Amino acid sequence: MAMATRDATRTDLGTLRELLAAPGPFASVYFGLEARPERAEEAGARWRDLAARLAREGADAATVDALTARVMDALPGTGVLALFASHGEVRHAAELPGGHHGDVAEFAAVPHLLPLLEWRQEHPAHVVAVVDRTGADLLVHPEGGTEARRRTVQGTDDEILRTSGLPNMRFQHRAEDSWERNAKVVAAAVDEALAEVSASLLLVAGDVRARQYLTKHLPARVRRDVTVGHISGSRSADGSAAVRTSRTETEVARAGHARTAELLRTLEHELAPGGHAVEGVRATLDALAVGRVGTLTVTDDPRDQRTAWFGDSPAELAERRDDLPPDGGGEPHEGRLADVAVRAALLTGADVRVLEPGEPRTPAQGAGGICRYP
């Protein structure tokens, strides 16, 4: 089995925690790269507007210059370019394929990670298997991965031709046996790939008979815990790749939304007396400050101008400055409430789920969390 070693994932939570540990304040930028070469002037004008906004909000010239160089280097492109910079240095950059947020530029005490986290949750870990009777091509996507890990699986048996007619029944059976043995090899590789990225979604394309054999030989764990979907396309160069990619994006986004809906149902259930959840700004910040929150749910509403205060330690967190611990080290900072809550969640090892304004079952005041303990 051949395996590509490049891993272009740039949205993993470990990387984002490293970003939060860098000295602020931060310039956060989301810039749409969908610009044809002949419209480069228009893209440049859009960027100049964002750069001017950052300067008005207090960003230093060196930081704006570093961002400008990175944006210009990325044009023309596709998707959305997410950039985070401070003190004249771009601390983190990620190109988000298929990103749909409009241009954003903010300069604040804490990075504005919510659009990136929302893109990440719409791209859950998954594996795409394009199969035929000789083997398969696998695309292995970690959660929030910006590029797949590509692998080729070759079956051990090459007797794949099946002839017709009663005198050839023996050869037909031998061919069927060969296809099934190859499918067993593919099934083992698929199981390994799913486990590698903790994926709960498998999308299968390719030869109908090969798909049937693959499904038959998937381990019981996969059949029990993994959603298996079927999409069109084949391993041959028949022009189906673009359609397969589009269908994959649709199915993956659907899985991400289903995961959010399930999480909100769990949150609603755990808000009952004796449950493991909190909601509302004060209760959520208090739980974050003591490291209770396992998964934070927070609404990303650009109109929401509420703020919160934080110190160097994740435990230094409060809705008002006067409520911060009196013995905190360093100068406290004020930031947008949702961004401050996300910072505390990531630094205490919690996951984050970003909600759209008005989403059903949204917790009170747009903030809540499922806790590790009551």
Q: For every one of its 374 residues, what pLDDT tens digit does the chain have, with 9 covering 90 and above?
A: 333 333 345 788 889 999 998 889 999 999 998 756 557 788 889 999 999 999 999 999 999 999 999 999 998 888 899 999 999 999 999 999 877 668 999 999 999 999 999 999 999 999 999 999 999 999 999 999 888 899 999 987 665 554 455 456 555 556 667 888 999 999 999 999 999 999 999 999 999 999 999 999 999 999 999 999 999 888 877 777 888 888 999 999 999 999 999 999 999 999 999 999 999 999 999 999 999 999 999 999 989 999 999 998 999 999 999 999 887 667 899 999 999 999 999 999 999 999 999 888 899 999 999 999 88
Neighbours of 70 (CB within 10 A): 16
Range of the domain at 328: 271-371
Asked if residue 325 belongs to a domain, the reply is: yes
Q: Same structural domain for residues 65 and 84?
A: yes
| CATH code for position 245 | 3.30.420.60
pLDDT score of 102: 80
Q: Is 96 in contact with 104 (CB distance < 8 Å)?
A: no
> Which of 221, 37, 207 shows the shortest CA–CA distance to 132?
207
Asked if residue 342 belongs to a domain, the reply is: yes
Residue finishing a domain among 63, 86, 121: 121
> Which of 36, 213, 28, 82 shows the shortest CA–CA distance to 136?
213
Q: Same structural domain for residues 246 and 131?
A: yes
Asked if residue 148 belongs to a domain, the reply is: yes
Q: Same structural domain for residues 100 and 137?
A: no
Q: Same structural domain for residues 145 and 233?
A: yes
Residue finishing a domain among 212, 228, 254: 254
Q: Same structural domain for residues 166 and 96?
A: no
- How many helices (H) and strands (E) are present in the chain, helices listed first? 10, 17
pLDDT score of 4: 32
The structural domain count of the chain equals: 3
CA–CA separation, 367 and 208 (whole Å): 46
Neighbours of 246 (CB within 10 A): 11
Q: Same structural domain for residues 131 and 66?
A: no
Asked if residue 3 belongs to a domain, the reply is: no
Residue finishing a domain among 64, 90, 121: 121
Which residues, in sequence order, are bridge partners of residue 85? 27, 90
Q: Same structural domain for residues 98 and 196?
A: no
Helix (H) or strand (E) segment spanning residue 62: helix 61-74
Q: Is 346 in contact with 20 (CB distance < 8 Å)?
A: yes
**What is the Cα 26 distance to its own chain's centre?**
22
Q: Same structural domain for residues 130 and 250?
A: yes
Asked if residue 247 belongs to a domain, the reply is: yes
pLDDT score of 1: 36
CA–CA separation, 199 and 154 (whole Å): 22
Q: Same structural domain for residues 24 and 72?
A: yes
Q: Same structural domain for residues 146 and 250?
A: yes
pLDDT score of 299: 96
Asked if residue 139 belongs to a domain, the reply is: yes
Which residues, in sequence order, are bridge partners of residue 104? 30
Asked if residue 240 belongs to a domain, the reply is: yes
Q: Same structural domain for residues 249 and 132?
A: yes
Asked if residue 261 belongs to a domain, the reply is: no
| CATH code for position 297 | 3.30.1330.30
Give the tokens for residue 264: 């909100």
Residues 6 or more apart whose CB falls under 8 angstroms from that of 232 comprise 205, 240, 243, 244, 247
Radius of gyration of the chain (CA): 25
Q: Same structural domain for residues 136 and 113?
A: no
